[in-house]
Amino acid sequence: MININPNSPRQKMINLMYLVFIAMLALNVSAEVLNGFDIVGDSLNRSSNNMHTRNQLIMGELERYNLQNREKAGEWYDKGVQVKQMSDSLVSYIEDLKIRMVKESDGRKGDVSNIKNKDNLDAASFVMLSSSNKHGNKLRTTIDDYRQTVTQLIHDPNRREVIENNLSTTPSKRSDSNKNWEESLFENMPVSAAVTILTKIQNDVRSSEGEALNSLLNSIDVSDFRVNQINAYVIPESKVIIQGGTYNARIVLSAEDSTQTPNIFVNGKSLDSSVKGIFSAGSAGMGTFPVEGYIEITSGDGSVMRRNFSDSYTVIEPMATIAPTLMNVLYAGIDNEISISVPGITPQDVSATMTNGSLSRKGNLWVAKPSAVGQDATISISARTGTQTRQLAAKSFRVRPLPDPTPYIEYTDVNGNPSMFKGGALAKAVLVNTPGIKAAIDDGVLNIPFRVTSFRTIFFDSMGNAIPEISDGSQFSERQKEQIRRLQRGKYFYISGVKAIGPDGMEREIAVIEVRIN
């Protein structure tokens, strides 16, 4: 006969093999998702480098004007130096945080450009949130100080609003209301995702630096400097576009003349003046696409001044993963934890809905609670990029009732560890000191307690006659305890008719326990 005792070596080996198989599947899914952050991170790094180069050119213009006329340009040049120093310092500090995370994950030789343990969930939390480091709090305070300083240098309220939104440290309304900004971004976040988030913040800092330097440059007297120093720039809503969405960018001059509209040529075509400098392009295919052209404006002497511009945007494939943390089904009556992620999109910009039940956020996870057994539940994922919201993926799950729990007697072994007796031989001393029985689903995947409402014991007298006794709820009754005390070594009895209620509210009669006195 095959031994099916859940505590047997054979059954333990089967359970271990099952858990290893599930872990291998989880690792395969994680690798696909985490590789997406590398693509997004590379695109953000290129964008930051381009903006840094642009900002250096603007700073060079401020420096030349300062040398030409210190009296008029000195104030704006000095403020530009302040902005550049603050920006470089903040970007350098964020880069140091990325290095700290990767070394925490991969060891002292960890390389930000080649992260080994991309799915490490502890490194970001340790660096940013641990009580010994508190770099998350320091970063938030530094960003707040930088944002307040930079916005005071910008006169255009719309541009100020852009910077305030980009560098906001207020947690999203869709995140856990009990979490602050750094907890909502870095708690239990895979190290590859955390590094990408920090790269995005660096990108926002360089963008804000450029807005501030432009504003300072425009503050210098137009007749002396601005009219003869016109530069063209592309300001996209987002550098990363989901396939099927639309790339939107504003193409502007660093010094605008409200008395005339410039002629704009993008990718070989003239831009209609009615769109007021807004360039839109479709995204049917994936890849990186150029935004190149020039702006022409007529100067006071009738000559035409041309300034070239060049930028690009990246279209990525709509990707989203929806995976229950337990298995590929949902159980009615309990909270099923679901992992939902979209590469390149921050958790605050991801939303989800569910049919046949309810779906809500729980930290970095979601909790699905299906309603009807036997009817599929479909989870749909949407993501927001810029001003656009796209539906990315949908997945259906079968809804099953909870399986029956297993009754057991809880006791403490000789080493002081809690143990669960589910049948077989048990010492009489342990049994006498046991108040009653419990029930739970405990199969290595689910761990759900049930409430025992009643059970009966079947003892046998010397003639072999069965003597049934009824429990006191989940506890042994006094008559049952007396029968147990009378049992001699080698005798046995049965615990049957066990009724238990689970979190789904259903009462069910579950398995029988055979108890032999050891």
Residue 224 has pLDDT above 50, yes or no: no
pLDDT band at 300 (very low <50, low <70, confident <90, very high): low
Q: Is the pLDDT of residue 175 over 80?
A: no
| Bridge pairing between strands 513-517 and 424-426 | parallel
Q: Which of 298-312, 326-340, 399-413, 482-496 has the lowest mean pLDDT?
A: 298-312
Q: Which two tokens stand for residue 352?
A: 């989800």
Write down the pLDDT at residue 6: 44
Looking at the structure, tell me whether residues 267 and 346 fall in a common domain.
Answer: no
Whether pLDDT at 240 is above 50:
yes
| 114 in a structural domain | yes
> How large is the average pLDDT for residues 107-118?
87
CATH number (domain holding residue 375): 2.60.40.1080
Same-domain pairing of 46 and 184:
yes
355-371 mean pLDDT = 90
Separation between Cα atoms, residue 450 and residue 302, nearest integer Å: 86
> In terms of domains, do 310 and 420 share one?
no
Quote the CA–CA distance of 152 and 164 in Å, as a whole number: 11
Cβ distance 397 to 374 under 8 Å? no
pLDDT at 262 exceeding the cut of 90: no
DSSP secondary structure string, 449-512?
EEEEEEEEEEEE-TT--EEEEE-BTTBPPHHHHHHHHHPPTT-EEEEEEEEEE-TT--EEE---
Q: 28: pLDDT confidence band, cut at 50, 70 and 90?
A: very low
Asked if the structure places residue 274 within a domain, the reply is yes
**Same domain assignment for residues 365 and 433:** no
pLDDT at 20: 45
Q: Is residue 432 part of a domain?
A: yes
Instruction: Read off the pLDDT of each residue in 301-311 and give the average, rounded to a whole number.
Output: 78
Over residues 401-430, mean pLDDT: 90
Residue 13: its pLDDT value, please? 54
User: Which of 212, 228, 244 represents a domain boundary (last residue)?
Assistant: 228
Average pLDDT over residues 492-499: 95
Q: How confident is the model at residue 78 (pLDDT cuts 50, 70, 90)?
A: very high
Task: Give the pLDDT confidence score for residue 459 in this predicted structure.
Answer: 94
| pLDDT tens per residue across span 366-391 | 999 998 888 999 999 988 877 778 88
Torsion of CA 84, 90, 95, 100, to 10 degrees: 150
* 203/96 Cα distance (integer angstroms): 15
In the chain, the percentage of residues whose pLDDT exceeds 70 is 80
Residues 461 and 351 reside in one and the same domain:
no
Q: Are residues 84 and 219 in the same domain?
A: yes
Which helix (H) or strand (E) element contains residue 360? Answer: strand 357-362
312 with 334, same domain: the answer is no
187, 151: one domain:
yes
Q: Between the ranges 50-54, 241-245, 388-392, where is the mean pLDDT highest?
A: 50-54
Q: Mean pLDDT throughout 155-177?
A: 79
What pLDDT is attached to residue 193? 85
CATH of the domain at 237: 2.60.40.10
426, part of any domain: yes
H helix or E strand, kind and range, residue 242? strand 240-242
* Cα gap 322→288, rounded to integer Å: 27
Note the pLDDT of residue 447: 82
Residue numbers of the domain that contains 361? 321-400
Check pLDDT > 80 for residue 406: yes
Q: Is residue 371 part of a domain?
A: yes
327, 309: one domain: no
Q: What is the per-residue pLDDT for 276?
A: 77
pLDDT top residue among 171 and 64: 64
Of 211, 203, 209, 198, the residue nearest 45 (C-alpha): 203
Picking from 400, 432, 452, the residue at the C-terminal end of a domain is 400
Q: Are residues 142 and 269 in the same domain?
A: no
pLDDT at 283 over 80: no
In a domain, 384, yes or no: yes
The answer to whether residues 389 and 453 belong to one domain is no
**What is the DSSP secondary structure assignment for residue 441, as one 8-state letter?**
E
User: pLDDT tier at 38 (50, 70, 90 boundaries)?
Assistant: low
Q: What is the pLDDT of residue 347?
A: 81
| Residue 517 burial (CB count, 10 A) | 16
Residue with tokens 């689910």: 446
Per the DSSP assignment, residues forming a β-bridge with 377 are: 397
pLDDT of residue 346: 76
* Contact partners, residue 22, CB within 8 Å, separation at least 6: 327, 445
**Which residue reads 């479709």 in tokens?**
282
Residues 26 and 166 in one domain: yes
* Structural domain includes residue 311: yes
pLDDT number for residue 96: 92
* DSSP-derived 3-state class of residue 254: coil
* 2 within domain boundaries: no
The pLDDT assigned to 35 comes to 56
**How far is Cα 327 from Cα 495, in angstroms, rounded to an integer?**
32
Q: How confident is the model at residue 19 (pLDDT cuts 50, 70, 90)?
A: very low
Number of domains within the chain: 4
Write down which residue in 317, 333, 358 finishes a domain.
317
Confidence at 514, pLDDT banded by 50, 70, 90: very high
